[in-house]
């Protein structure tokens, strides 16, 4: 059985560098797990692998949407499974790399059994947000679903909106629906293990075929320095000009989901005169640190993952030995 490898970690932890090195030692094909890298034109600010890197190690699921389009968790899961199947058919190892934890969760655990989006309910929520602000909507969420509110950032309008929408449609919290789904998946997995049959396995068997590796700096100060250094490098590489091109298109705004990617909002506000240059830098770095903190909160709940300090020597050799051990067992 070919393993499916998920290389996860907070932003700026060195996931891409490690993944590229792994492709030089193992027959791996990389699938991007990043909610911003799917958009064309969002390159520098997302730390998207450049042409030289992609020539060495091609990445799937990059540049597949225009920034005006919505790319959902369900879209990712469908696309990722298709790419995984394609890689496995070639006898190679799917290596999923990124920091969008919700995507990893949906891929490994399945989609939550929740109601479809309702345009009318969404419009009501958006109107309330225009009048009260998203922090007030987040406070409203905290009263009905404190667990979801703890996971969702106070300015993450897309996820706040969805959590409120689910509650208003069903009378049950987002967390309630997610817990029911996870319980159902676990029971299904246990039943399939108990009642083994001669039926062929699905293309991506639930829960058992994924092998997760978490890359992180054990010293938080190291990660914070990396985040600041990387953002300053992005500015040197032309990040402001990249956002300016998006700004000048005329069909995008801060309400566009693609522009919720960390850093883009702050440069957009700088271009519109809302923030000074120094304020933009300070707020963008702070927002990126907050993103890393939320990613680590997700990762600490991840079960059966191999945790590796990004500062340790011999990372490539360690991961190669780990994956070869898995291949022998399977």
- Averaged pLDDT, 303-327: 90
Q: Residue 53 has what pLDDT? A: 96
Q: Would you state the structure tokens that stand for residue 298, as one six-digit string?
A: 């997700």
- DSSP SS3 for 104: helix
Query: What structural domains does the chain harbor?
Result: 4-112+206-219+303-329 (3.40.50.300), 113-196 (1.10.20.140), 221-293 (1.10.287.890)
Spatial distance between the Cα atoms of 114 and 167, rounded to a whole number of angstroms: 10
- DSSP SS3 for 40: coil
Q: How many CB atoms lie within 10 A of CB 3?
A: 19
At 98-138, the pLDDT tens digits run 999 989 988 987 766 667 777 888 888 988 898 899 999 99
At 37-90, the pLDDT tens digits run 999 999 999 999 999 999 999 999 999 999 999 888 889 999 999 999 999 999
Distances in Å between the Cα of 322 and the Cα atoms of 130, 207, 211, 326 are 50, 19, 10, 6
Q: Is the dihedral of CA 142, 146, 150, 152 positive or negative?
A: negative
Q: Residue 150 has what pLDDT? A: 87
Q: Residue 3 has what pLDDT? A: 86
């Amino acid at each position: 059985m070919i393993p499916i490898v998920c290389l996860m970690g907070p932003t700026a932890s060195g996931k891409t560098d490690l993944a590229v090195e792994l492709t030089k030692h193992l027959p791996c094909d990389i699938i991007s797990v990043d909610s911003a890298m799917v958009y064309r034109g969002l390159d520098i600010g997302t730390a998207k692998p450049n042409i030289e890197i992609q020539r060495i190690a091609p990445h799937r699921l990059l540049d597949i949407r225009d920034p005006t389009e919505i790319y959902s968790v369900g879209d990712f899961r469908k696309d990722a499974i298709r790419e995984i199947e394609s890689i496995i058919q070639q006898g190679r190892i799917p290596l999923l790399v990124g920091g969008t934890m919700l995507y990893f969760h949906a891929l490994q655990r399945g989609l939550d059994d929740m109601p479809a989006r309702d345009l009318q309910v969404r419009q009501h929520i958006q109107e309330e947000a225009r009048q009260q602000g998203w922090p007030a909507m987040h406070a409203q969420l905290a009263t009905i679903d404190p667990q979801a509110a703890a996971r969702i950032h106070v300015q993450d309008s897309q996820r706040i909106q969805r959590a409120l929408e689910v509650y208003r449609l069903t009378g049950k919290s987002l967390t309630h629906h997610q817990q029911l789904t996870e319980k159902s998946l676990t029971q299904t997995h246990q039943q399939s293990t108990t009642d083994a049959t001669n039926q062929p396995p699905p293309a991506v068997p639930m829960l058992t075929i994924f092998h997760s590796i978490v890359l992180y700096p054990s010293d938080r100060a190291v990660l914070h320095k990396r985040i600041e250094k990387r953002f300053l490098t992005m500015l040197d590489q032309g990040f402001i000009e990249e956002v300016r091109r998006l700004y000048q298109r005329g069909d995008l705004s801060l309400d566009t989901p693609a522009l919720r990617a960390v850093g883009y909002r702050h440069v957009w506000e700088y271009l519109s005169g809302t923030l000074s240059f120094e304020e933009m830098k300070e707020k963008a770095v702070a927002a990126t640190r907050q993103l890393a903190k939320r990613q680590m909160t997700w990762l600490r709940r991840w079960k059966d993952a191999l945790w590796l300090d990004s500062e340790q020597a011999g990372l490539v050799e360690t991961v190669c030995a780990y994956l070869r051990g898995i291949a022998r067992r399977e």
